[in-house]
Amino acid sequence: MEIQKYAAIDIGSNAIRLLIANVIISKNKEPQFKKSSLVRVPIRLGADAFVEGSISEANQQRLIDAIEAFKLLIKVHGVEKYKACATSAMREASNGKKVVEEILKKTGVNITIIDGKEEAAIIAATDLHKLVKSDESYLYVDVGGGSTEFTLFSKGRIEDSKSFRMGTVRLLNNTKAENKIIFKDVEHWIKNSTSHLDKVSLIGSGGNINKLFKMSGRMLDKPLSYIFLNAQYKFLKNMSYDERISELGLNPDRADVIIPATKIYLSAMKWSGATKLYVPKIGLSDGIIKSLYHGSIA
């Protein structure tokens, strides 16, 4: 048996994450990916990028400090290889490339800014195939702070995918009119893409749906129902921001974005006709590690 260590840095719009995983390689067996450590830092880059159009100096410094800390953790864990990817906030910030250059100069960490399609492809490299049955159809929904990636699986293959600028941080900062337009666009795409399918189930990923699933108390392989999610949405909306923190124990940077996130999942279920939502607890970080191991990304 051989154990290798890989790490992924995911620079999102609501938070940045460091995932360290052990890859257990045994003879005549598929490699096993086991999470060793997960560190999340709530640097809301999207609040800068989507409102002001650029990353503030204060958040640039926080990002540099966090990357330096991640580098030390990568070193002490004995990681063999790691990859850092940034998504919509860094992609849309007018100074995004400059920030990446500054981070490389000060920390030695090279960050790759990826687009929505690349993000969806990396996530698809996870163990999603173990959940997707060859004779059924699924709409995979990955909700981030700046964008949401939709991937339609039918008969075990990717049939269609699209990224929309409909992330939780963005929705909080948009006007109602702007949000109405983007939801209409997504509704049109989902209905068009799934109209020929008899039955669709949702697969959800992202910190908010993971939190909702944990709050449900369900077993890992059991889906959430539309009825349950709708009841949770109403329950959360009726609570104040402070109550979500004090009564439910939500982190301050989770207590506001969980509302638009739940609305996105509910809307996707409604428009696709899905009654079940599976939550396999996978995301971009997991995809980066598996892609590193398989050599599909450098």
Helix, strand, coil distribution of the chain in percent, nearest 5: 45, 25, 30
Helix, strand or coil for residue 119? helix
The residue whose two tokens read 């960050």 is 111
**Rounded mean pLDDT, 133-149:** 90
Amino acid present at 291: S
Q: Cβ of 206: how many Cβ atoms within 10 Å? A: 27
In this structure, the strands spanning 148-154 and 157-164 are antiparallel
**The pLDDT of residue 29:** 87
Cα(145)–Cα(267) distance, rounded to whole angstroms?
A: 17
Q: Residue 120: is its pLDDT beyond 80? A: no
**The pLDDT of residue 30:** 85
pLDDT in tens, 200-233: 999 999 899 999 999 999 887 899 999 999 999 9
Tokens of 82: 């790691």
Q: Are 46 and 88 in contact (CB under 8 A)?
A: yes
Q: Are 220 and 278 in contact (CB under 8 A)?
A: no
pLDDT in tens, 253-287: 999 999 999 999 999 999 999 999 999 888 889 99
Backbone CA torsion sign across 266, 268, 273, 275: negative
15 torsion bin: left (phi>0), alpha (psi -120 to 50), beta (else): beta
| The overall pTM is greater than 0.85 | yes
Q: Cβ of 134: how many Cβ atoms within 10 Å? A: 10
Of residues 134 and 253, the one with the higher pLDDT is: 253
